[in-house]
Chains A and B, each alone.
Chain A
Amino acid sequence: MIVPVLPDVHRTVDAAWKLESAKIVASLTRMVRDVGLAEELAQDALVAALEQWPVSGVPDNPGAWLTTTAKRRALDHLRRAQRLERKQEQLAHELGQRQERQQGPDARPDDEPDDVLRLVFLSCHPVLPTEARAALTLRLLGGLTAEEIARAFLVTETVITQRVAAAKRTLAEESVPFELPDGDHLAERLSSVLEVIYLIFNEGYSATSGDDLMRPGLCLEALRLGRLLAELAPREPEVHGLVALMEIQASRAAARTGPSGEPVPLHEQNRGRWDQLLIRRGFTAMLKAREVGGAPGPYMLQAAIAVCHAQARSAEDTDWAQIAALYAALTRVLPTPVVRLNRAVAVGKAHGPQAGLDLTDALLTDPVLRDYHLLPGVRGDLLAGLGRFDEARVEFRRAASLARNAAERAFLERRADELGAAAPAGPVLGQAAEEFLGRDDLDPATSRSYGQTLRRLRRTLGDQQPLASLTAEQVARVFTTTWGEAAPATWNRHRAAVRSFGAWASLDDLTAGLDRRAGTRPRARPLDPAQLDAVWSLPDLPLREETLWRLLHESGAGATAVLALDVEDLDLDDRRARTRIRTPASVRPRDGRVTWRSGTARLLPLLLAGRTRGPVFLSDRRPGPARTPEAADLCPDTGRRRLSYERAEYLFKQATRPLDPARDGYTLHRLKPAPGDR
């Protein structure tokens, strides 16, 4: 049975339009010298088709109909404008005559192929932001509607409409000519064009967001644009290089997603599902690129790498040494962090995971890769290859948390799961951060500020990062990549947050690798056990000093908080006291308490000598007549005032001067217990 296909007129108009629009807009732009106007006039023809074809039927040659109608609109426009400008009149007249000569019954208007090339250079002009170039190119060269472009880039139609309108406005304001770039600018302009095409391809090939791993429509558009450009500019090796690269990458489209949409890595792909037709086309394009000659540029080198993969019959057959060498060449012409990361992968395969891992180490401080999920993904792979499964698992989890694409996220989670049950010793960063911020004794502002710091830490290091293996070096790296350029106040605020968190979580000094910014004093290191022994062995140690120092050392609390203690705050039986000053960065006990051990417990009753109220630590002297301290700082029984921080510090320095090699004496800060000694 034969069923006649009744054409859906709208879809037919759309198909004819998409096949012709680049040529139509290009030749109209040459006529009216304004790409925005040209596109409007061309759109008029499209609207006319949508109005007329449902009534009159689809013409025999829909493409030619659209072209002729659009050119007629352009001529009408020029004739109207001729009243104002004689020069344009002349131009329109000439064009009209040329047009009439071409109007045979079946005449396809003679298009200048260079017009389309001019249009490519125009819509990819460097005066436009990259996103605008991509949108405008799809619009003018691909004939896509704003809605289609919006769907491809997962933004709203309004965004695209505005982006395209702004781009056209910019081109008009900057008076960008409808011309081929001259020799001096050709390389730069061409690389802008190639960049846009490859961006469109990549947006389709490795959809950066959304649920689908691929948006094949965009890949097709990019491929078509690339093939078109290769015909228009056949003397440019990089154009053929880009085409080769895209053809070969596209050949793997079917093999690189699994049945449930998950990504299948290259070495696990079923090579029988690679599209040999596209591979052959890629090889052919590569040959053309080589024929043209010249030093291989970034696209040719990437294509050469793709060729290596395509030539391997199995993953094991892959010539990784050759690929690593090509990447080495590529990093010289295109030293981007992502290329360097790919090189690490190749080197890992060619010369072992440790060699690859070493290359990724240098990338950890690169701000560009800070939130790039493939860096931890690659590291996870290399670490797993070295049998360092716990570290690999952390990296995979972190990669999953950074991945914006759902299918990729699921894949990375699975990689982590495959490494066996998580066996991190003790708590992990994500949960600890939640608990730290969830305390009731943090005021909202502090909580918000600390939250900001910890979010960044979690994002970069991963929620599953075991606290036990969190190092000051890792923290320092996060700080350098994130706030390395920030104002000192910002840096110090985040540093204070990490210090507070580290203190709360009883971690080693997490900020050891971070200096306070803007000329403030470097953090003093805690006294080591030998130095402490020397302190406790000082001759004729006054009872008050010894008690204070022991308490500072055993509690790890800040001197200000300890000096602020009153007798009423002490719980001698339970060896703890409530602190009154809240200095989050220095008060270790999470609930605002100071606790101590036997050394202090032995001395405290002796020091108090039956006192029941007033400051615990009193100065030796009564205040002079000129100074009247607050009542809270005076002992109601003896009239003596509270020992001041300055005085306590002075006394400690004096006492320890003989012990300090620098002969300055130690500061009270250094009595804090050393990391791990609590």
Chain B
Amino acid sequence: MRYLMTTKPSDTAPDEKLYAEMGRFIEELTAAGVLLATGGLEPGGIRVTSAGDEITVTDGPFAEAKEAVAGFALIEVRSQEEAIELARRFRRIVGDGESVVQQVFGP
């Protein structure tokens, strides 16, 4: 089963150590065949909303950067527990903050 883990940025700025640890973590998960895709995300992004016949496209909002999504990882695991365990490891590396783990259905 697949899970998408999205992560909001934390207050602490990433340092060399974090980059190195994160690099190792990603390598390890890739090697283990668990990590299918991963990447960073620009904060804010473009919002497309629809209401009735009207579709509105807006930039941002950028105001609350803390809530902006900053990264994602698509993982393929055997169980929800495996997904949680990997999310725990990830959180231990990045420090304070929040990630959301959602099961992906399909394609």
Contact = CB atoms under 8 A, between A and B. Distances in A.
Contacts of A11: 79, 81
B81 A227 contact: no
Contacts of A5: 84
B74 interface: yes
Contact of A228 (B33, B82, B88): B33
Nearest to A274: B107
Nearest to A243: B33
Interface in B41-73: none
Given A223-B33, A277-B36, A8 B89 contact: no
B13 interface: no
Nearest to A16: B85
Contacts of B78: 15, 18, 217, 220
A585 interface: no
B36 A19 contact: no
B26 interface: no
Interface in B67-103: 74, 76, 78-79, 81-82, 84-86, 88-89, 92
A60 interface: yes
B31 to A, nearest CB: 4
A224 B79 contact: no
Contact of A277 (B32, B37, B89): B37
A12 interface: yes
Secondary structure dominating the interface of A = helix
B85 A19 contact: yes
Task: Count chain B CB atoms within 10 A of each CB in A15, A18, A61, A226 and give the residue with the most.
Answer: A15
Contacts of B107: 254, 273-276
Q: Chain A, interface size: which category?
A: 20 to 34
B32 A227 contact: yes
B92 A60 contact: yes
Nearest to B34: A224
A172 interface: no
A15 B84 contact: yes
B106 interface: yes
A11 B84 CA distance: 11
Nearest to A62: B85
Given A18-B78, A63-B89, A254-B107, A7 B84 contact: yes
A93 interface: no
Nearest to A272: B107
A309 B82 CA distance: 33
B92 A7 contact: no
A14 interface: yes
Interface in A265-295: 273-277, 281
Interface in A213-265: 217, 220, 223-228, 231-232, 254
Nearest to A276: B107
Nearest to A216: B1
Interface string B15-41: 000000000000000111110110000
B92 A12 contact: no
Nearest to A231: B31
Contact of B76 (A8, A220, A225, A276): A220
Given A15-B81, A19-B86, A226-B33, 9 more contacts: A11-B81, A12-B84, A15-B78, A15-B85, A18-B78, A63-B89, A224-B33, A228-B33, A276-B107
Interface of A: 5, 7-8, 11-12, 14-16, 18-19, 60-63, 106, 113, 217, 220, 223-228, 231-232, 254, 273-277, 281
Interface of B: 30-34, 36-37, 74, 76, 78-79, 81-82, 84-86, 88-89, 92, 106-107
Q: Which 4 pairs across A and B sit closest by C-beta, in order of nearness? A: A227-B33, A15-B81, A224-B33, A231-B31
9 contacts: A7-B84, A14-B81, A16-B85, A19-B86, A227-B31, A228-B32, A232-B31, A277-B36, A281-B36
